[in-house]
């Protein structure tokens, strides 16, 4: 009974031993060949296969568990590995590029030496440019002074040319002169160019452009020059502006002459907008300084000295296309202030007249005669008298003439060379003041006897006063005004006189007037017309071919007088006669004046029997004209 259980144990032990052996061999990685041969030798290959399958299933479970535990770490490791591969490729490319770059240079030392040479040249060029900045600022004043001197010489040539032209015009009135015009061969060369060296600027600009930092250098140049200009614009407080204005303005002129040359020749180093901006800034500061200084001026001669230099500055920089409108506007605004200072000469005249003894001058020498008489045309005879010579006037006359001449010359000097200033605006203002003076004389028309019973033998008082004033005016204006301006002044005065007479006749102040009053106006007109003709010819205006003469400016009042003195005034209504003889007369004005016109100065109780046939016929014709004018109205 004990033998059977033992046999069953051996069989179970045999199967279990095979499985355990396989597990041990597999775990240790040993050769399974002996076990497999034993299984086949014992005829139990199925048991071997079963145990192998069991071991495989067990290992699969272990592998699945292992993969489950380390899956996330595995994925991260794979991603990191891929990143390492990408970085490795990039590093490989960079190393290849650097290797190619280094391979293109035979020697690293040559590369370093080339860079060192460029740096040394750049440093040298920059040093030369900085030295140039210092040098050109010192030179700017000399450059400006030279340019302003050239402008002064050009002005002098212009004055000489105009003097020769006036002399030629004077000869042309006297007759042809074979020596009238001569060719001036002197000073025909063009103004020499202002020399200053810009080579350091060109070199520095070119060097920085080649190095690829041209914009940096352009900014450096602009800022440094702008800083220099700001320093130049600071006027000296240690000396009066009268003494410092010339070097101050010359420095500014020189600065902008240099900038214009740089703009034109330095291949884009400066732009037009940059130059225009700094010019507008500078001219704004200059005008502000001038306005302040002019407001403090108390001496006309100092005022004129500064004004002249400012106009020369304008002429100098205007050649380089800089706009000088603001400069001219400052001088224009200061014109009245200057003339107010000039008018202080009235005090000098008052002092002369107060201290004058009013005794006739006794002249003992010819030079005294020339200085006090000939210089002011106080004698009509040009012959030198015997000395000692007793003048018909006191010493105050030439003294006053000297002051008046100085006033006129200084006034003309200020008005001259004003650049954009229109001289005819000045003439217009002068004409307005002239007409005010004429009006003061024309007030004397109120004293005319408009109902005179007897025809006058002489002119009215007002016309004598007006002619004296105009004679003095034209003589003075002829010396200082251009012909066109003189024409404007005198023709304006003549037209104003004609209008004043017409206005007087139209106003209610004249209730009625007679033919005798008209005859008096006719005498006045003849004197005015004679004066107009003489001045139109003597001033040379007749040679200009003007369509309207000075006499023509009186045409309206002349046609009115002719009509009132006509034997048949009704002919005015004839279109042909009216166009030919009375074209300047207005219907409405004529109607008003004719209503006031009486053929004779009859008293309130006078008789018509005193009138002759001629007067009656003219009265009838005038009555017809009055009716037709009313019908026409």
pLDDT band at 188 (very low <50, low <70, confident <90, very high): very low
**pLDDT value of position 4:** 43
pLDDT digits (tens, 9 = 90+) for 256-311: 999 999 998 888 888 999 999 999 999 999 999 999 988 888 888 888 888 889 98
Instruction: Answer with the residue of higher pLDDT: 347 or 379.
Output: 347
Say if residues 585 and 559 touch (Cβ distance below 8 Å): yes
Question: Which one of 53-57, 319-323, 405-409, 420-424 scores highest in mean pLDDT?
Answer: 319-323
pLDDT tens digits, 575-596:
888 888 888 888 888 888 888 8
Give the tens place of pLDDT for each residue, 515-542.
Answer: 888 999 999 999 999 999 998 888 888 7
Q: Which own/partner contact pairs does 203-212 have at CB distance under 8 Å and 24+ positions apart?
A: 203/125, 203/128, 203/129, 204/125, 204/126, 204/128, 204/129, 205/266, 205/267, 205/269, 207/121, 207/122, 207/125, 208/122, 211/118, 211/122
Taking residues 128-156, report their average pLDDT: 89
Candidates 151, 81, 53; CA nearest to 417 is 151
Q: What is the pLDDT of residue 433?
A: 76
DSSP 405-447: HHHHHHHHHHHTT-TT--HHHHHHHHHHHHHHHHHHHHGGGGG
CA–CA distance, 306 with 100 (Å, rounded to integer)? 73
Check residues 556 and 423 and name the one with the higher pLDDT.
556
Q: What is the pLDDT of residue 9?
A: 34
pLDDT tens digit sequence for 330-351: 888 888 788 888 888 888 888 8
CA distance 598 to 593: 10
Q: Which of the listed ranges 245-259, 318-332, 461-475 does the model predict with the highest average pLDDT?
A: 245-259
Instruction: Convert the pLDDT of each residue in 31-86 to its tens digit.
Output: 777 777 877 878 778 877 888 888 888 888 888 887 777 777 778 888 888 888 88
Tokens of 386: 């015997």
Q: How far apart are CA 245 and CA 239, in angstroms?
A: 10
Is the per-residue pLDDT at 175 higher than 50? no
**Residue 483 CB-density burial (10 A; 0-12 exposed, 13-18 middle, 19+ buried):** middle
pLDDT at 368: 85
> Where is pLDDT greater, at 193 or 121?
121
Torsion sign over Cα 110, 114, 119, 120: positive
Report pLDDT for 282: 92
- The predicted pLDDT at position 528 comes to 92
Closest CA to 473 of 525, 535, 530: 535
Give SS3 for 390.
strand
pLDDT digits (tens, 9 = 90+) for 78-122: 888 888 888 888 888 888 877 777 666 656 566 666 666 666 666
pLDDT at 166 over 80: no
Residue of higher predicted confidence among 600 and 380: 380
- The SS3 call for residue 9 is helix
Average pLDDT, the chain: 80
More confident residue, 183 or 463: 463
Residues 6 or more apart in contact with residue 619 via CB below 8 angstroms:
599, 611
Q: Judging by DSSP bridges, how do beta strands 360-363 and 389-394 pair with one another?
A: antiparallel
- Look at the pTM and tell me if it is higher than 0.75: no
Is the pLDDT score of 154 beyond 80?
yes
Cβ-Cβ contacts under 8 Å for 435 (sequence gap 6 or more): 492, 493, 496
For 294, the token pair is 């002019």
Mean pLDDT of 311-337: 87
pLDDT value at residue 608: 44
Distances in Å between the Cα of 625 and the Cα atoms of 287, 510, 573, 600, 629 are: 65, 20, 7, 17, 6
At residue 257, the pLDDT reads 92
CA atoms within 13 A on the CB side of 55: 17
């Amino acid at each position: 009974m004990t033998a059977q259980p033992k046999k069953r144990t051996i069989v179970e032990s045999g199967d279990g031993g095979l499985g355990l052996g396989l597990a041990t061999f597999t775990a240790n990685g040993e050769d399974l060949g002996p076990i497999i041969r034993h299984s086949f030798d014992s005829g139990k290959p199925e048991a071997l296969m079963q145990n192998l399958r069991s071991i495989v299933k067990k290992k699969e479970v272990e592998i699945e568990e292992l993969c489950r535990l380390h899956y996330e770490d595995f994925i991260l490791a794979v991603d990191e590995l891929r990143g390492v591969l990408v970085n490795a490729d990039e590093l490989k490319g960079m190393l290849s590029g650097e290797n190619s770059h280094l391979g293109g240079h035979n020697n690293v030392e040559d590369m370093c030496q080339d860079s060192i040479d460029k740096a040394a040249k750049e440093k040298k060029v920059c040093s030369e440019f900085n030295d140039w900045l210092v040098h050109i600022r010192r030179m700017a004043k000399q450059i400006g002074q030279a340019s302003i001197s050239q402008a002064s010489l050009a002005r002098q040539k212009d004055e000489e040319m105009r003097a020769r032209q006036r002399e030629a015009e004077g000869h042309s009135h006297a007759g042809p002169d074979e020596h009238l015009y001569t060719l001036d061969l002197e000073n025909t060369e063009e103004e020499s160019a202002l020399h200053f060296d810009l080579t350091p600027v060109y070199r520095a600009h070119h060097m920085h452009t080649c190095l690829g930092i041209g914009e940096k250098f352009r900014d450096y140049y602009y800022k440094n020059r702008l800083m220099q200009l700001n320093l130049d614009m600071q006027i000296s407080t240690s000396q009066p502006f009268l003494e410092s204005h010339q070097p101050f303005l010359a420095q500014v002129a020189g600065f902008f002459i240099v900038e214009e040359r740089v703009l034109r020749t330095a291949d884009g180093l400066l732009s037009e907008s940059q130059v225009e901006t700094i010019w507008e800034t500078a001219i704004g500061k200059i005008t502000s300084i001038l306005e302040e200084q002019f407001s403090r001026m108390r001496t006309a001669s100092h005022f004129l000295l500064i004004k002249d230099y400012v106009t020369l500055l304008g002429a100098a920089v205007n050649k380089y296309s800089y706009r000088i409108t603001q400069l001219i506007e400052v001088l224009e605004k200061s014109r009245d202030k200057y003339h107010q200072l000039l008018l202080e000469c009235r005090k000098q005249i008052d002092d002369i007249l107060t201290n004058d003894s009013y005794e006739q001058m006794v002249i003992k020498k010819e030079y005294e005669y020339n200085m006090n008489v000939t210089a002011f045309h106080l004698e009509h005879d040009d012959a030198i008298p015997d000395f000692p010579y007793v003048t018909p006037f006191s010493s105050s006359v030439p003294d006053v003439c000297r002051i008046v001449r100085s006033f006129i010359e200084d006034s003309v000097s200020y008005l001259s060379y004003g650049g954009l200033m229109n001289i005819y605006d000045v003439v217009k203002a002068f004409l307005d003041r002239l007409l005010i003076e004429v009006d003061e004389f024309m007030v004397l028309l109120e004293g005319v006897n408009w109902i005179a019973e007897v025809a006058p033998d002489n002119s009215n008082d007002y016309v004598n006063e007006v002619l004296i004033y105009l004679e003095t005016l034209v003589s003075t204006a002829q010396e200082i005004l251009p012909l066109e301006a003189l024409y404007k002044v005198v023709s304006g005065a003549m037209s104003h006189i004609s209008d004043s007479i017409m206005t007087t006749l139209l106003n209610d102040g004249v209730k009625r007037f007679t033919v005798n009053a008209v005859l008096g106006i006719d005498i006045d007109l003849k004197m005015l017309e004679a004066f107009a003709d003489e001045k139109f010819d003597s001033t040379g205006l007749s040679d200009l071919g003007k369509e309207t003469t000075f006499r023509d400016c009186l045409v309206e009042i002349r046609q009115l007088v002719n009509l009132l003195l006509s034997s048949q005034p009704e002919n005015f209504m004839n279109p042909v006669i009216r166009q030919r003889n009375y074209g300047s007369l207005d219907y409405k004005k004529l109607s008003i004046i004719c209503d006031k016109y009486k053929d004779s100065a009859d008293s309130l109780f006078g008789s018509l029997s005193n009138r002759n046939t001629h007067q009656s016929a003219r009265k009838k014709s005038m009555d017809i004209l009055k009716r037709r004018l009313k019908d026409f109205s």
